[in-house]
Amino acid sequence: MSESLDDLLNRLVEMLEPGQSLLENAYKMLHFLTGDEQVVAHLLDVLGVRIEVCVFDTCMFLDDIKYVLKKRHQTALPSGIKLGGVRVFASVNVRDEMPRKIEELMPQWGIEPQEALRVWETEYAPWIYFVDPSGMPLASDRLTALKQRDSTDLQTGQLIELVHPHAVISKDRDLASFGTRSQCSAIVTCAYRDKGKREVLVLYLSATGILTLRVSAAVLSSLIAWLCRVDKRILLLLVVAGGAAWLYTPSRTWLQERFRAIKPRVQAASQRVPVRDHVSRILSNAAGPLSVAEISRLMQDKGYVPQGAHPEIYLRKVLRAHPSVFGMDEDKHWYIKRHQSA
């Protein structure tokens, strides 16, 4: 990858509004151009674009911020999240205890707490999916055991079982039974960042091709109006992507090997997963909000066998039964609800 293209991506990342990602913007562009979420889903599959889900614990966020302020050098985590190839989840309990932990621990590391809190609130928290899984039942023995060992980690355990993440980044021994990683966290986050760079450019290149094939005076008029409402910076990246097809492989190989290793276990367990958990896994990996029909289709593609002739009716009931976890937008598309503030 050329240095100038890398620099441009970094500048575009810096220009994002809080909570936005470049990959999410690309998804919106493709959805606008095709008008069909199933077509977009198929395109993502063909291009090998997959949003990975990662759950972080408090201790690892603290370590990341400590590194940034000690070394005066950004880690791969914030840029990876903003590119959009990874979606980082944490419990609302983590959200609520971060300011307190920053106040307690940063002075011990020779760091000014107010500076650490500023970094947390501006570079990390707006892009993290804080979820409240506390209303979910304790559906496994390891959750029951975790509640007895340390109830403060229970929400993180519930979240792990809810979204079935690609990786869990924590060094808390009480969460060890959930397959946590700590020593290789830098490898994981670097892989997510590199994967995101490749996928952002590939998606915008695809959007450019579709635009070239389908544009007309009427479509162009609508597109200009839409861009005025969304983000004019999309045009800049479209221009860049139109002249650059880049496949970034080094760290992505690690992710592919990791997914191949866990895929058989995921498939074998699919029939034992409650409908609620099927839905949460689909939505946590989705590039944007999905209709009930698309959720149902993706669930069946992954091995779920509906019990009735109209599974969408039951799916709506499941989604509405958990308002602290699932939300619906103005187009009646569903998403994992983000609890950014208490």
Task: For residue 15, tell me if it sits in a domain.
Answer: no
Return the minimum-mean-pLDDT range out of 90-94, 126-130, 234-238.
Answer: 234-238
Q: Which residue has the higher pLDDT, 7 or 92?
A: 92
Local confidence band at 250 (pLDDT 50, 70, 90 cut-offs): very low
Q: How many CB atoms within 10 Å of residue 78?
A: 21
Side-chain-side CA neighbours of 119 within 13 Å: the count stands at: 24
Indicate whether 252 pLDDT > 70. Answer: no
Pairwise CA distance, residues 54 & 126, whole Å? 16
How many domains in the chain? 1
Of 342 and 111, the structure prediction assigns the larger pLDDT to 111
243 pLDDT above the threshold of 50:
no
CB 69 within 8 A of CB 111: yes
Least confident range of 36-50, 180-194, 206-220, 243-257: 243-257
Backbone CA torsion sign across 54, 60, 62, 66 = negative
Question: In the prediction, which pLDDT does 256 show?
Answer: 52
Task: Give a yes or no: residue 174 inside a domain.
Answer: yes
Kindly report, residue by residue over 40-74, the tens digit of the pLDDT. Answer: 888 888 888 889 999 999 999 999 999 999 999 88
Task: Could you list the beta-strand ranges (E) of 64-218.
Answer: 86-91, 129-131, 167-169, 180-181
For residue 264, pLDDT over 80 is answered with no
Q: Is residue 66 part of a domain?
A: yes
The pLDDT of residue 309 is 81
Better-predicted residue by pLDDT, 33 or 123:
123
Is 181 contained in some domain?
yes
In the prediction, which pLDDT does 221 show? 55
Rg (CA), the chain: 20
The pairing of strands 167-169 and 52-56 is: parallel
Of 131 and 38, the structure prediction assigns the larger pLDDT to 131
Whether residue 147 lies inside any domain: the answer is yes
pLDDT at residue 294, rounded to an integer = 95
* Residue 130 three-state SS: strand
* Separate counts of helices (H) and strands (E) for the chain: 16, 7
pLDDT at res. 143: 94
329 falls within a domain:
no
- What pLDDT was estimated at residue 316? 95
Contact between 97 and 155 under an 8 Å Cβ cutoff? The reply is no
Domain housing 109: 52-187
Whole-angstrom distance, CA of residue 237 vs CA of residue 205 = 9
**pLDDT surpasses 70 at 229:** no
More confident residue, 204 or 330: 330
What is residue 336's predicted lDDT score, i.e. its pLDDT? 96
Q: Which of 202, 200, 253 is nearest to 22 (CA)?
A: 200
Predicted local confidence at residue 272, as pLDDT: 46
Please give the pLDDT value at position 254.
47
User: 32-41 burial, b for 16+ CB within 10 Å, e for fewer?
Assistant: bbbeebeebb
Q: Are 183 and 304 in contact (CB under 8 A)?
A: no
Give ∠ CA 147-128-193 in degrees, rounded to 5. Answer: 115
CB within 8 A of 104, min separation 6: which ones?
none
Q: What pLDDT does 187 receive?
A: 87
pLDDT for 315-336, tens place per residue? 999 999 999 999 999 999 999 9
In a domain, 98, yes or no: yes
Distance CA 82, CA 334 (A): 21
pLDDT bin (cut points 50, 70, 90) of residue 224 is low
Strand pairing partners for 167? Answer: 54
Which of 137-141, 243-247, 284-288 reaches the highest mean pLDDT? Answer: 284-288
Each residue's pLDDT tens digit, 111-127 = 999 999 999 999 999 99
Average pLDDT along the chain: 82
Q: Is residue 271 part of a domain?
A: no
Global pTM value: 0.80
Separation between Cα atoms, residue 103 and residue 243, nearest integer Å: 48
Task: Give yes or no for residue 129 having a pLDDT over 60.
Answer: yes
Question: Distance (Å, rounded) from C-alpha 204 to C-alpha 235?
Answer: 10
CATH number where 148 lies:
3.40.50.1010
